[in-house]
């Protein structure tokens, strides 16, 4: 089986360490600013006992928010340290297609319909509906390998029936 095209997954974008540190600095600066504003707001209006009580309530709230911030910070650091996993998604050959995530091997003669609608490849097999699949082409490395037009021509070359292609034109936002 001579392979003509292998589409692979694109690793998920991860936040950088500088972005993570800026996030933490922003959140703690926000905590400090809220504490200062509320302290000045209630200082002239109420007596010292109420200010102490409000300060304790604010402190407990800030501790809870601090817990959430540190938990999210550790999640971002853990996500940053993960190695990206790149795996094959779709294989196109002279004999047919192989969709790796669900381990579906389909011959060209078995395919009843191929559609590409807004960068989503849909393959329908009437003989065995369990082999149907949809693949979002924007989550693959298609743009690095070839243009979408060239990919469509490759499909039309191997698949002798009609390949339905529809791209929604970009909207101007005017409701037209």
Token pair, residue 82, equals 């993960």
Chain-centroid distance of CA 165 in Å reads 24
d(CA 116, CA 137): 9
The answer, yes or no, to whether residue 65 has pLDDT greater than 70, is yes
Helix (H, G, I), strand (E, B) or coil at 145: helix
Mean pLDDT for the chain overall = 79
Give the global pTM. Answer: 0.58
The answer, yes or no, to whether residue 100 has pLDDT greater than 70, is yes
pLDDT recorded at residue 1: 43
């Amino acid at each position: 089986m001579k392979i003509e095209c292998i589409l692979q997954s694109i690793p998920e974008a991860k936040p950088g360490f500088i972005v993570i540190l800026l996030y933490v600095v922003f959140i703690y600066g926000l905590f400090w600013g809220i504490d200062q504003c509320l302290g000045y707001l209630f200082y002239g209006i109420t007596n010292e006992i109420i200010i102490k009580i409000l300060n304790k309530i604010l402190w407990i709230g800030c501790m809870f928010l601090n817990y959430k911030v540190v938990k999210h910070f550790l999640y971002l650091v853990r996500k940053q340290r993960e190695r990206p996993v790149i795996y094959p998604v779709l294989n196109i050959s002279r004999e047919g297609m192989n969709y790796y995530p669900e381990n579906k091997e389909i011959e060209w003669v078995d395919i009843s319909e191929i559609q590409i609608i807004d960068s989503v490849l849909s393959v329908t097999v009437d003989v065995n509906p369990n082999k149907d699949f949809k693949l979002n082409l924007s989550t693959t490395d298609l743009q690095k390998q070839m243009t979408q037009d060239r990919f469509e021509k490759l499909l039309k070359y191997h698949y002798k029936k009609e390949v339905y292609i529809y791209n929604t034109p970009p909207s101007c936002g005017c409701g037209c």
